[in-house]
Structure 1
Amino acid sequence: MTKFFSICVIALSLVLSVNAQKLSKMPPRVVLIGIGAKNPTFNEAQYPHLKIYYTPELTPVKNATETQNAAASLSGAVKFTYDGQPEFLKNIWNDKNIDEAFMLFDKNGLCVAQGYDVDKQGDIASRLCTDKKPLADHIKDCVKKGKTGKAEKKEMKLKKSDFMVGYSFPEFNLSDIDGNSTKISEVLNGEPTLVIFFNIPDNMDLNAAKESGEGKSGKAFLKSMVSGAAGAGKSGVFLALESQVYDYDAREK
């Protein structure tokens, strides 16, 4: 039984390795869109291949504390709603669970595949899209073969899990990591692009776990540990994208 289990583990590792190689050999452009303003403790420079943008005109409806935001992030059971612009992102964030959801756009800016929890199994290439096909298959079609999608004629319905497939983003503004304004049409820029959504509340200290607990009270120590754990969880998808899509080790040295 032990030998059989070992063989299964090795076989699974080989499959995951092959899938990871698929993406690194045909990497799409990867854009991450943050819901809300930039977090001042988040170091985007750690992830040189990823294009990261924010939506500072979206603000939380409830002014949660750092600990509340961190605890909500860890549990995944609580999600704080946002208000403001762009209205399209406000609506899909408030109505659907799009934290770490992904959308693949062809060179014409048309969404050809959509899915959720991009790194849920630790292997982005084999993550299933809403059509049950692995993401790697769609990326191969768009990036390597240059295929394009077919535009839907019917009105988009947000209640569908694949609501974006067959549609282009409505135009909206974004801010880059330096605070410069741009538009989503300029961000997609006429090439296959994997778009992933994320949310790091601007009052969450991502460096809390690096600080020494010496001299802190029990409450302060717990607060720093909760924030640090949440920060580590938030950075996971960025590390996975750098590693699996670009074969780059973005871990802090």
Structure 2
Amino acid sequence: MSFSTRSIAALALAALFVFPLTMDAQKKMPKKYKNAPDQTIVIVTNSPAQSFDEAEYPHLQFYYTPQEMPDFLARLHNVKPIPVKDGITGMVVDKDGVIAYIRGFNNALAKNNDNMDEMNWTILTVADKKGIIGGSKPMDDYLKDYVIKGKSAKRDDDKTYIPGEEPTFKGWDKGKVEGMMLPDFTLITKDGNELAIKEILNGQPAFIVFTNISEDGKEVSPMLWHVENVLYNYFPPRR
């Protein structure tokens, strides 16, 4: 066997070992989850936290309520906390701004996930029992239908809001706002720019997270890390 022939044979043999390792490495590379929006909108409902480092969450787009919470959010918070105590509240809106899904997620959920296994219990897989706000389907289904596929949520024209007035439609007192058009309200960026939520959505479906951040920017819900890593540093199936 000539030197060149031996070299080719050696390279071929090495490739047999390297190729599976390369494929395995690719499988373990984190990537954006298939049903995740390009960015998640985060609304901090206790006004700006100047010392908070938004850069720690590169795929989360942060906005803050003014010193006085917008009227609709304040009224909704009274009947359905946004965010829930010791957690966050998630909302999916369709391309027309209709609320398709809303529910709270406790911080304890973040303790059950390390983003290393797609079968872990995550914000994507949790579902309330049938009949409870949030529906019987996991949030992943709502992201797939309304954010990725661009389907329209069923709008309930009876669910209306007039600025300065308490809504009176059936279910409002329990925070059942699914099917309601998300009213417009003003938010501000960390540098003080004002933007309406409709400007932020810009006719696109979205996943919105409501959360609180301490004044010094140090107390942050671990669910923000959870969302950042489950949706945007997602490990593909390794079976």
1:156-175 maps to which residues of 2 (within 5 A)?
A: 156=169, 157-161=171-175, 163-175=176-188
Given that 1:37 and 1:55 are in contact with CA atoms closer than 8 Å, whether structure 2 keeps it comes out as yes
Question: Whose RCO is larger (CA < 8 A, sep 6+)?
Answer: 2
SS at match of 1:126: coil
Letter in 2 for 1:42: F
Q: Deviations over 1:7-27 (max 9, x none)?
A: xxxxxxxxxxxxxx9971121
1:114 and 2:97 correspond: no
Residue equivalent to 2:127: 128
* 1:202-221 aligned within 5 A: 202=215, 204=216, 206=218
Q: 2:230 aligns to what?
A: 244
2:75 alignment partner in structure 1: 91
Q: Flag the 1:147–1:23 CA change in 2: closer, same or farther, 3 A.
A: farther
Q: Name the aligned partner's letter for residue 26 of structure 1.
A: N
Deviations 1:84-120 (A, max 9, x none): x411111222343221111101111111111111665
**1:211-247 CA distance string (max 9 Å, x none):** xxxxxxxxxxxxxxxxxxxx2xx24122111101111
Name which of structure 1's ranges 237-246 and 22-31 shifts more when overlaid on structure 2: 22-31
Cross-structure match for 1:6: none
| Structure 1: unaligned runs, 5 residues or longer | 1-20, 59-84, 207-230
Unaligned stretches of 5+ residues in structure 2: 1-29, 111-121, 129-133, 160-168
- Please say if residues 119 and 240 of structure 1, whose CA atoms lie closer than 8 Å, have aligned partners that are also in contact: no
Aligned counterpart, 2:48:
38
Amino acid at match of 1:160: K
Counterpart CA distance in 2 for 1:118 and 1:128 is 13
Q: Does structure 2 retain, via aligned residues, the 8 Å contact 1:22–1:136? A: no
With 22-31 and 135-144 compared, the bigger mean Cα shift is at 22-31
Residue 34 (structure 1) shift: 0.9
User: Could you say if the C-alpha distance between residues 143 and 91 of structure 1 is closer, same or farther in structure 2, counting changes exceeding 3 Å?
Assistant: closer
Identity of aligned pairs, percent? 33
Structure 1 residue matching 2:172: 3-state secondary structure: coil
Q: For 1:47-62, list aligned pairs within 5 A.
A: 47-58=57-68
Computing the radius of gyration from Cα coordinates, the structure with the larger value is 2
Check whether the contact 1:102–1:118 (CA below 8 A) recurs between aligned residues. no
- 1:205 & 1:139 partners in 2: Cα distance? 29
Distance 1:205 1:197 in 2: 16
Q: 1:134 to 1:118 in 2, by over 3 A?
A: farther
Question: What number of residue pairs does the alignment pair up?
Answer: 175
Q: What is the Cα-based RMSD across aligned positions, in Å?
A: 2.4
Contact in 2 for aligned 1:57/1:86 (Cα 8 Å): no
User: In the alignment, residue 180 of structure 1 is paired with which amino acid?
Assistant: N
TM-score, scaled to structure 1 = 0.63
Alignment of 1:123-202 (within 5 A): 123-128=122-127, 130-155=134-159, 156=169, 157-161=171-175, 163-202=176-215
TM-score normalised by length of structure 2? 0.66
Instruction: Tell me which amino acid in the other structure corresponds to 2:172.
Output: L
After TM superposition, the runs of 4+ consecutive aligned structure 1 residues lying more than 6 A away are none
SS, match of residue 198 in structure 2: helix
